[in-house]
C-alpha cells in the first residue's frame, strides 16, 4: 500500500460532492492525458458514481478531454445477464455514451451471465483481458459494512489471494454472484478515489481511514494518492480537522 497520507475532502451534501467530484475528475483526466498517453480508468457503480458520470458527460464537450484516449475498466460487476438493470456497466455506459463517443476497443465491461453459469471462469476471462494493466485512476465506493468493489468483510472474497480478479459467490449483498478485482489489483492503481455519501457509511468511513484492516476498504490505497471525497453525513464520525474543503 502507498505510504502517502490519504486526503479527505468533505462536502456539504451529496449534490455538492457529485458536482465537485465530476469537475475534479475531468481536470485530472485532462492532466493525465497531457503527455499523449491513453489513460487507464477503473470505474465503480452506485448512486453517487452515476451522478458524477452524468455531470462529467455534460462537461466533456467544452473541455480539452479526448474521450478516444480513455480506456475504461470496472472494479466489480453483478454476475447477471447483460440487460439486467442491476449491472454496473450498463447504466454507466448509457450515461457516458449519451454525451461523447466511446471506443468499443477501449471499453472493458466485465462478462455477464448470458449463457454462462460460472462467475469464477468469467473472472479468469477478465483477468486475461486486464493483463498487466495498471490503472492511472481507480474510482471506488464504500459499503456500510466496509466492503469495497465486491470484496466483503468476514467473507471468502476478502481472503488473501494472488489472483487479480475473482468470482464471488454467496455475497452478503444481493445479487449473490459477482465478479471483482482483488485488493492487490486495486492497490496497484496510481490514484484511488473513494466516493462516499450518507450517514450509513460514517462508521465504515471512520474505521477505514483509521486503518482498520478487518474492513476491505481499510486495506486499499493508491500507490501515489488516495483521495476520499465524502459528504458531511458520511464524515459525521470524523474529526473536522481530518478533512479539507
Domains and CATH numbers, the chain: 12-134 (3.40.50.1360)
Quickly state the pLDDT bin for 192 (edges 50, 70, 90).
very high
The predicted-structure confidence for 4-26, as pLDDT tens digits, reads as follows 689 999 999 999 999 999 999 99
* Predicted model pTM: 0.94
In terms of Cα–Cα distance, which of 145, 144, 141, 112 is closest to 126? Answer: 112
Of these ranges, 12-26, 115-129, 227-241, the one predicted with the greatest mean pLDDT is 12-26
Per-residue model confidence (pLDDT) at position 114: 87
Please state which of the ranges 113-122, 175-184, 193-202 shows the lowest mean pLDDT: 113-122
In terms of Cα–Cα distance, which of 15, 79, 71, 2 is closest to 229? Answer: 15
Per-residue model confidence (pLDDT) at position 133: 98
Name the E strands within 163-240. Answer: 165-168, 178-181, 191-196, 225-231
Q: Do the beta carbons of residue 43 and residue 227 sit within 8 Å? A: no
Quickly state the pLDDT bin for 1 (edges 50, 70, 90).
very low
Quickly state the pLDDT bin for 242 (edges 50, 70, 90).
low
Q: Do the beta carbons of residue 114 and residue 89 sit within 8 Å? A: no
Tell me: pLDDT of 199 over 50: yes
Return phi, psi of residue 67, to 5°. Answer: -60, -20
Amino acid at each position: 500500500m502507498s505510504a502517502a497520507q490519504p486526503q479527505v475532502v468533505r462536502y456539504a451534501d451529496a449534490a455538492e460532492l457529485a458536482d465537485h467530484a465530476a469537475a475534479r475528475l475531468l481536470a485530472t483526466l485532462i492532466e493525465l492525458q497531457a503527455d499523449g498517453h491513453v489513460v487507464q480508468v477503473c470505474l465503480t457503480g452506485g448512486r453517487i458514481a452515476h451522478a458524477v458520470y452524468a455531470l462529467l458527460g455534460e462537461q466533456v464537450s467544452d473541455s480539452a478531454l479526448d474521450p478516444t484516449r480513455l480506456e475504461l475498466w470496472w472494479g466489480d460487476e453483478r454476475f447477471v445477464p447483460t440487460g439486467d438493470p442491476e449491472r454496473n456497466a450498463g447504466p454507466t455506459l448509457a450515461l457516458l455514451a449519451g454525451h461523447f463517443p466511446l471506443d468499443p476497443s477501449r471499453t472493458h465491461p466485465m462478462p455477464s451471465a448470458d449463457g454462462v453459469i460460472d462467475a469464477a471462469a468469467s473472472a479468469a476471462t477478465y483477468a486475461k483481458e486486464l493483463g498487466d494493466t495498471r490503472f492511472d485512476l481507480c474510482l471506488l465506493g464504500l459499503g456500510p459494512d466496509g466492503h469495497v468493489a465486491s470484496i466483503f468483510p468476514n467473507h471468502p472474497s476478502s481472503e488473501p489471494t494472488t489472483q487479480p480478479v475473482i468470482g464471488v459467490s454467496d455475497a452478503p449483498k444481493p445479487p449473490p454472484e459477482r465478479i471483482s478485482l482483488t485488493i492487490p489489483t486495486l492497490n496497484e492503481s496510481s490514484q484511488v478515489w473513494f466516493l462516499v455519501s450518507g450517514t450509513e457509511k460514517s462508521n465504515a468511513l471512520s474505521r477505514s481511514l483509521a486503518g482498520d484492516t478487518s474492513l476491505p476498504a481499510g486495506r486499499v490505497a493508491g500507490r501515489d494518492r488516495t483521495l476520499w471525497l465524502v459528504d458531511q453525513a458520511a464524515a459525521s464520525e470524523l474529526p473536522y480537522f481530518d478533512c479539507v474543503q
